[in-house]
Amino acid sequence: MSQKILLDKINIPGIKTYDVYRANGGYASVEKALKTLTPDEVVEEVKTSGLRGRGGAGFPAGMKWSFIDKKSGKPRHLVCNADESEPGTFKDRYLMEFIPHLLIEGMITSSYALGANLSYIYIRGEYMWIYKILEKAINEAKAAGFLGKNILGSGYDLDLYVHCGAGAYICGEETALIESLEGKRGNPRIKPPFPAISGLWSNPTVVNNVETIAAVPWIVNNSGADYAKIGIGRSTGTKLISASGHIKNPGVYEIEMGLSVYEFMNSDEYLGGMSSDRPLKAFVPGGSSVPVLPAHLIFKTANGEDRLMTYESLSDGGFATGSMLGSGGFIVYNDTACIVRNTWNFSRFYHHESCGQCSPCREGTGWMEKVLNRIENGYGREEDIDLLLSIQSKIEGNTICPLGDAAAWPVAAAIRHFRDEFEYHIRFPEKIKNRDHFVAEPFEKVKHLVAKELV
Partner 1 sequence: MERTHHKQEINITETLMNRINELISYYPEDKRKSALLPVLHEVQDAHENWLSIELMDKVAEIIQIKPIEVYEVVSFYTMYNQRPIGKYMFEFCQTSPCCLNGVEDLMDYTCEKLGVKVGEPTVDGLFEVRGVECLGACGYAPIMQLGDFYKEHLTKEKVDQLIEDCKNDIIILHDK
Partner 2 sequence: MKVTIDGQSIEVEPGTTILQAARMIGGEVVPPAMCYYSKLKGSGGKCRCCLVEVAKGSEADPRPMPKLMASCVTGCMDGMEVNSKSSPRVQEARKSVTEFLLINHPLDCPVCDQAGECDLQNLSFEHGKSQSRFVEEKRTFEPENIGENIQLHMNRCILCYRCVMVADQLTDDRVHGVMDRGDHSNISTCISKAIDNEFSGNMIDVCPVGALTDKTFRFKSRVWFNKPYNAHRDCDKCCGKTTVWMFGDEIQRVTGRKDEYHEVDEFICNTCRFDKKEVTDWIIEGPRVFEKDSVINQNNYTRKLEKVEIATEEKILLGREQDRKKISMAEFPLTEEDIINQKSLSNNG
Residues that bind partner 2 (CB under 8 A): 168, 185, 190, 192, 351-360, 362-367, 370-371, 374, 387, 390, 394, 397-400
Chosen residue from 252, 274, 391, 411 binding partner 1 by CB under 8 A? 252
Question: Judged by CB under 8 A, which stretch of 32-40, 84-92, 189-197, 316-324 contacts partner 1?
Answer: 84-92
What is the closest distance, in whole angstroms, from the C-beta atom of residue 310 to partner 2 in the complex? 23
- Among partner 2, partner 1, none, the one that 246 touches (CB under a kind-dependent 5 to 8 A) is partner 1
Q: What SS3 state is found at 339?
A: helix
What is the spatial distance between Cα 126 and Cα 124, in angstroms, rounded to a whole number? 6
What is the spatial distance between Cα 125 and Cα 376, in angstroms, rounded to a whole number? 32
Sign of CA dihedral 124, 56, 65, 10: positive
What is the closest distance, in whole angstroms, from the C-beta atom of residue 419 to partner 1 in the complex? 20
Residue closest to 108 by CA, chosen among 72, 144, 83, 84 = 144
Alpha-carbon torsion angle 57, 63, 65, 71, nearest 10: -130
Closer CB to partner 1, residue 34 or residue 325?
A: 325
What is the closest distance, in whole angstroms, from the C-beta atom of residue 164 to partner 2 in the complex? 18
- Under the binding rule (CB under 8 A), the answer on residue 163 touching partner 1 is yes
- Under the binding rule (CB under 8 A), the answer on residue 248 touching partner 1 is no
Tell me the backbone φ, ψ of residue 211, rounded to 5 degrees.
Answer: -65, -35
Strand partners, 245: 332
- Under the binding rule (CB under 8 A), the answer on residue 168 touching partner 1 is yes
Question: Judged by CB under 8 A, which stretch of 232-240, 348-356, 397-405, 447-455 contacts partner 1?
Answer: 348-356
Closer CB to partner 1, residue 50 or residue 91?
A: 91
Closer CB to partner 1, residue 164 or residue 314?
A: 164
Query: Would strands 118-123 and 77-82 be described as parallel, antiparallel, or unpaired?
Result: parallel
Size of the site for partner 1 (CB under 8 A): 55
Closer CB to partner 1, residue 37 or residue 171?
A: 171
Closer CB to partner 2, residue 167 or residue 279?
A: 167
4, 238 contact by CB (below 8 A): yes
81, 212 contact by CB (below 8 A): no
What is the closest distance, in whole angstroms, from the C-beta atom of residue 24 to partner 2 in the complex? 44
How many residues in total does the chain contain? 455
96, 136 contact by CB (below 8 A): no
- Under the binding rule (CB under 8 A), the answer on residue 342 touching partner 1 is yes
What is the spatial distance between Cα 126 and Cα 83, in angstroms, rounded to a whole number? 9
Q: What SS3 state is found at 126?
A: coil
According to DSSP, residue 116 is labeled B
Query: Would strands 238-245 and 118-123 be described as parallel, antiparallel, or unpaired?
Result: unpaired
- Among partner 1, partner 2, none, the one that 349 touches (CB under a kind-dependent 5 to 8 A) is partner 1
Number of C-beta neighbours around residue 38 at 10 A: 11
Closer CB to partner 2, residue 170 or residue 261?
A: 170
Chain positions contacting partner 1, by CB under 8 A: 84-90, 92-93, 118, 124-129, 132, 161, 163-169, 180-186, 201, 242-246, 250-252, 288, 329, 331, 333, 337, 341-342, 345-346, 348-349, 352-353, 355
